[in-house]
């Protein structure tokens, strides 16, 4: 397992997660089962929070990007760790609210927020709304006016950086559904309008350059571009930019091939750029925000499945079908994402088989991995997939009317359910016959 010291193999040759025997967890709670290690989540939160203190004098806030995994238990942990959160929908906002999360530390993103969601954000007293278009700005101003409130806003900017290539491709980024373009002057124009708009309080700018990034340079480049833009805003609109939000996207290890950079290194490098630019441009240091999602929860999560059928097709491949698949983890079918697999009930055994792990949905592409090295599986084995804490439960579907699995929080040998397994009754609860 990767990036975590909290998995091991016990005397029964079973995989342990957060000090719990995973085979026992599968027996007690059934499969498929999401398992989340609280110690790892908190450890990850602290890396981020501490590095803002260490490298930026604490003049910032880490926002957990809750799209990675949104549930009440996670908002509670984020609150206890002194973080803010990023939400992208009324559903995430509502979950945070019901979990008692301090709403002034909630940042609301999205390229197509509905008027109802904007209204809800103002009613709940959300900290910031990250405006994505001029349409949204005008809509928000009119809703705020009706309510006699002022909306505190950031603007999402496309800094023109492609983090997925080593050469920064600075053109072509206009072709993105998120944010306001720098190159065309669109961003500046919209901010100028905001500064002059009643019921809108301009607080700062935001960018997010991508996800699962293993390079520091694109973050530094983004910080450069954004600081220069802050200067332009000051010079042309006379507005002070108090907050600079540099988004998330820090890479994690899904398997042996991935080599993540400690977050402190990102923060140290970005902090240096922001300090240098602030001095060169005679700007005050902005309050910094970062929005890690995957890097908070991914490696804390594992999924347990029961092997149902092993189908050996001579000279072709061996399909190992499990009782979950694309409905609980669509990342292979969507992105050919690679994971690390092990048989939890024979965790210490040699992996002497190469197999294709298939889900149970009526869809040939419903796979969890191909050419996967695994202990030779038989029906009834428990298959563990690691680093499934991010973008698994949050992207789960009900395809084939499969109920969503339960999620169990483990910590130092204890375990408790934080998301109940759906029942068939849950599946039909909104059907009208
Ligand atoms: N902030 C903003 C504005 C974002 O759009 C995102 C992710 C994040 C922060 C958090 O990024 P992270 O630290 O988690 O990389 N479903 C895809 C990932 C989509 C990410 C969308 N935005 C996946 O499973 O890989």
Tell me the pLDDT tens digit for each residue of 51-82: 999 999 999 999 999 999 999 999 999 999 99
> Is 266 near ligand 1, meaning CB less than 6 Å away?
no
If one counts every other C-beta atom within 10 angstroms of the C-beta of residue 146, the result is 11
Q: Per residue in 276-304, pLDDT tens?
A: 999 999 999 999 999 999 999 999 999 99
292 lines ligand 1 (CB under 6 A): yes
How far does the centroid of ligand 1 lie from the alpha carbon of residue 68, in Å? 7
At 326 the pLDDT is: 98
List of residues 6+ apart from 100 with CB closer than 8 A: 75, 76, 79
What amino acid positions are annotated as catalytic residues? 362
Q: How far is the CA of 293 from the centre of ligand 1 (A)?
A: 6
pLDDT band at 1 (very low <50, low <70, confident <90, very high): very low
Query: Which run of H or E residues covers position 140?
Result: helix 134-147
Q: What pLDDT is recorded for position 160?
A: 86
Which of 109, 266, 294 to mutate for ligand 1's pocket (most ligand atoms within 8 Å of CB)? 294
* Residue 44 Cβ < 6 Å to ligand 1: no
Question: Is the pLDDT score of 3 beyond 60?
Answer: no
For the chain, give the percent of residues with pLDDT over 90.
92
| Ligand 1 neighbour 179 (Cβ under 6 A) | no
Query: Could you report the per-residue pLDDT of 173-197, keeping only the tens digit for each?
Result: 678 899 999 999 999 999 999 999 9
3-state helix, strand, coil in the chain (%, to 5): 35, 25, 40
Would the CB of 328 count as within 6 Å of ligand 1?
no
pLDDT, mean of residues 99-111: 98
Closest protein CA for atom 16 of ligand 1 = 391
What pLDDT, on the 0 to 100 scale, is given for residue 165? 46
Helix axes 115-124, 134-147, angle to 10 degrees: 50
For ligand 1, atom 19, the nearest C-alpha belongs to: 211
Return the residue whose CA atom lies nearest to atom 9 of ligand 1: 248
* Averaged pLDDT, 25-32: 98
pLDDT at 2 (0 to 100): 47
Residue 172, Cβ density class (10 Å: 0-12 exposed, 13-18 middle, ≥19 buried): exposed
Cα dist from 241 to 104, 128, 221, 384, whole Å: 19, 14, 19, 47
Taking alpha carbons only, the member of 365, 208, 231, 363 closest to residue 294 is 208
The pTM of this model reads 0.96
Strand partners, 419: 407
Q: How confident is the model at residue 99 (pLDDT cuts 50, 70, 90)?
A: very high
| pLDDT score, position 171 | 36
Q: Which atom of ligand 1 is nearest to the CA of 293?
A: 14
Q: Is the CB of 132 under 6 A from ligand 1?
A: no
Nearest CA to ligand 1 atom 17: 391
At 164 the pLDDT is: 63
In the prediction, which pLDDT does 5 show? 54
Closest CA to 390 of 74, 60, 28: 74
Average pLDDT over the chain reads: 95
Cα 263–Cα 264–Cα 268 angle in degrees, nearest 5: 120
- Angle, in degrees to the nearest 10, between helices 90-98 and 115-124: 20
Ligand 1 pocket, 291 CB below 6 A? yes
Domains and CATH numbers, the chain: 7-30+300-428 (2.40.37.10), 38-295 (3.20.20.10)
**Torsion angle of alpha carbons 211, 212, 214, 216, nearest 10°?**
30
């Amino acid at each position: 397992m990767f990036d975590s010291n909290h998995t091991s193999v016990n005397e029964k040759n079973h995989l342990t997660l957060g000090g719990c025997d995973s085979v026992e967890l599968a027996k007690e709670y059934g499969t498929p089962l999401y398992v989340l290690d609280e110690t790892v989540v908190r450890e990850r939160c602290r890396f981020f929070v501490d590095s803002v203190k260490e490298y930026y004098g604490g003049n910032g806030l880490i926002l957990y990007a809750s799209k990675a995994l949104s549930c009440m238990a996670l908002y509670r942990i984020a609150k206890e760790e002194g973080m803010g959160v990023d939400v992208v929908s009324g559903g995430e906002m509502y979950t945070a609210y019901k979990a008692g999360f301090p709403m002034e530390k909630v940042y609301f993103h999205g390229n197509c927020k509905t008027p109802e969601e904007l209204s809800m954000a103002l009613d709940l007293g959300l900290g910031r709304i990250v405006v994505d278009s001029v349409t949204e700005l005008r809509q928000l101003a009119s809703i705020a006016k009706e309510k006699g409130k002022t909306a505190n806003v950031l603007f999402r900017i496309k800094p023109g950086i492609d983090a997925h290539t080593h050469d920064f491709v600075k053109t072509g980024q206009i072709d993105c559904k998120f944010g306001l373009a720098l190159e065309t002057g669109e961003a500046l124009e919209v901010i100028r309008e905001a500064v002059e708009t009643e019921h809108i309080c301009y607080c700062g700018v935001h960018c997010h350059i991508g996800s699962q990034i293993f390079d520091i340079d694109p973050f530094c480049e983004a910080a450069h571009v954004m600081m220069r833009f802050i200067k332009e805003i000051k010079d042309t609109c006379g507005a002070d930019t108090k907050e600079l939000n540099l988004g998330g996207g820090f890479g994690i290890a899904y398997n042996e091939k991935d080599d993540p950079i400690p977050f402190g290194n990102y923060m140290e490098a970005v902090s240096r750029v922001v300090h240098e630019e602030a001095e060169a441009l005679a700007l005050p240091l902005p309050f910094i925000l970062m929005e890690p999602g995957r890097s908070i929860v991914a490696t804390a999560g594992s999924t347990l499945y029961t092997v149902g059928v092993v189908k050996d097709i001579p000279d072709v491949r061996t399909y190992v079908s499990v009782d979950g698949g694309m409905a609980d983890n669509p990342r292979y079918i969507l992105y050919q994402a690679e994971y690390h697999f092990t048989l939890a009930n024979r965790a210490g055994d040699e992996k002497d088989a190469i197999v294709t792990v298939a889900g149970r949905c009526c869809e040939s592409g419903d796979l969890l991995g191909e050419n996967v090295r695994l202990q030779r599986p038989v029906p009834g084995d428990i298959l563990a997939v690691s680093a499934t804490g991010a973008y698994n439960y949050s992207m789960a579907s009900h395809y084939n009317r499969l109920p969503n699995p339960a999620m169990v929080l483990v910590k130092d040998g204890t375990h408790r359910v934080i998301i109940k397994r759906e029942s068939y009754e849950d599946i039909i609860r909104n059907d009208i016959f």
